[in-house]
Amino acid sequence: MSRSPAPALTVDRDRASGSVLTGLLSSDLPRSKVLTVVLLAILLMLATTPFVFSGSQPLSTAAKICVFIVLVASYDLLLGYTGIVSFAHTMFFGIGGYGIAIASERLGATWTSVAVGLGTALCLSALLAVAIGLLSLRVRAIFFSMITLAVASAMAVLASQLSTITGGEDGLSFQLPYELRPAFRLLSEPVFGVAVNGRLIAYYILFFATLLTFLLLLRIVNSPFGRVLQAIRENEFRAEALGYRVVAYRTAASVLSALAATMAGALMALWLRYNGPDTTLSFSIMIDILLMVVIGGMGTMYGSVIGAALFVLAQSYLQVLMDAASKALAGVPVLPDLVHPDRWLLWLGALFVISVYAFPGGIVGRLRQAEQ
């Protein structure tokens, strides 16, 4: 199977297969056997987690991976495809979360409140993205980044200060619509030994929303519009000279990215039944997103899947792994202390330094390169 990054060959292949799959993936196939296998494994794992693993931690980890796939993919649309460095991405993530939380708390635990919360959040995010875009995308890249940083910090302060609405630092816990609560049973009998309860429904809503949003983003980056974004990333001066209004395209990319991040925030809140500054607004999440994009591979939507899965898994299970290693090494001098679970952040950091150093094009970039 000879594959090439060249667009025209993609066309030929598209014409040859013309399959539904190519359409779903917008002609942007993984272009690496290993990558295909890994992506399928992640998809399969996320689709079957409730039936394969027991307990609440695996399910929560899977849900978090889903949310971060959307969040990281939407950030990649900005950073990897358009070349915009924004630090305001968690702001839109937070708006989504607070939209659901505030609406559910104020208007009661109904589907209407979820819809109202999500709708309001999406509108607010779009407005803010347009405002930031039009005000600052004309200026030099570094100033734009600074402005997004300032706006995001202001928003975080605002969220913690307006405690009567947002719950301040404590955040907001709220009830979900009845159909999403653990007590709800869709079927009286368990399926494959698993009760089909509200929690399971919530997970699959999350899963399919992620799948849909991801495919939509994949479509957008492979549309004529997405191609213009890449042209702007490569040489905005020439894109403008060719007749593409760069400010308008950048603003549109910011809005689309903000909407997807808001969606991710809403899903996060729905899953946690809680939203607070630490779960969606904190700057450390912004750094996590950046790392996931870079590790997965900038400018490749598939990179966000790999980056998010790897990062969240490491966050959740590195400590467990290290604990086991530490116990296994008991008796050996120094080593058990080195791999003690308390040292997990050190190892996570080391892992990332190594991966960024070894794969400058991210994991996806590396895998595609290897294929050639």
Partner 1 sequence: MTSSAVPALETRGLTIRFGGHVAVDNVSCQFTPGTLTAIVGPNGAGKTTFFNLVSGQLRATAGRILVEGEDITSLAPSARAKRGLGRAFQLTNLFPDLTALENVRLAVQSRAEAGWSLFKVWTSRRDLIAKAEEVLERVRLSDKRHIAPKALSHGDQRKLEVALLIAMEPKVFMFDEPTAGMSVDEVPTVLDLIQDIKHQGQATVLLVEHKMDVVRSLADRIVVLHNGALVADGEPAKVIASPVVQEAYLGLEAANG
DSSP conformation class of 191: B
363 close to 294: Cβ distance less than 8 angstroms: no
> Taking the complex as a whole, how short is the minimal distance between the CB of residue 27 and partner 1, in angstroms?
5
Closest to partner 1 by CB, 64 vs 219, is 219
Angle, helix 33-52 to helix 56-76, in steps of 10 degrees = 140
> Taking the complex as a whole, how short is the minimal distance between the CB of residue 357 and partner 1, in angstroms?
22
Instruction: Give me the sign of the Cα torsion angle 105, 107, 110, 114.
Output: negative
> Taking the complex as a whole, how short is the minimal distance between the CB of residue 11 and partner 1, in angstroms?
5
Closest to partner 1 by CB, 72 vs 246, is 246
Closest to partner 1 by CB, 55 vs 224, is 224
Closest to partner 1 by CB, 8 vs 330, is 8
> Taking the complex as a whole, how short is the minimal distance between the CB of residue 226 and partner 1, in angstroms?
7
Q: Strand, coil or helix: what is 31?
A: coil
Rounded CA separation 79/47 (Å)? 28
# binding residues, partner 1 (CB under 8 A):
35
Strands (DSSP E) found in 154-252: 172-173
Q: Strand, coil or helix: what is 5?
A: coil
**Residue 208-247 contact track with partner 1, rule CB under 8 A, x = bound:** -----------xx-xxxxxxx-xx--xx-xxxxxxxxxx-
> Taking the complex as a whole, how short is the minimal distance between the CB of residue 313 and partner 1, in angstroms?
31
Q: 3-state SS string over 31-44?
A: CCHHHHHHHHHHHH
Report the length, in residues, of the chain. 372
Contact residue for partner 1 among 3, 14, 205, 323 (CB under 8 A): 14
> Taking the complex as a whole, how short is the minimal distance between the CB of residue 220 and partner 1, in angstroms?
6
State yes or no: residue 4 binds partner 1 (CB under 8 A).
yes
| Residue in 259, 252, 246, 270 with CA at minimum distance from that of residue 216 | 259
* Count of beta carbons in the 10 Å neighbourhood of residue 114: 21
State yes or no: residue 249 binds partner 1 (CB under 8 A).
yes
| Site residues (vs partner 1, CB under 8 A) | 4, 6-11, 14, 23, 26-27, 219-220, 222-228, 230-231, 234-235, 237-246, 249
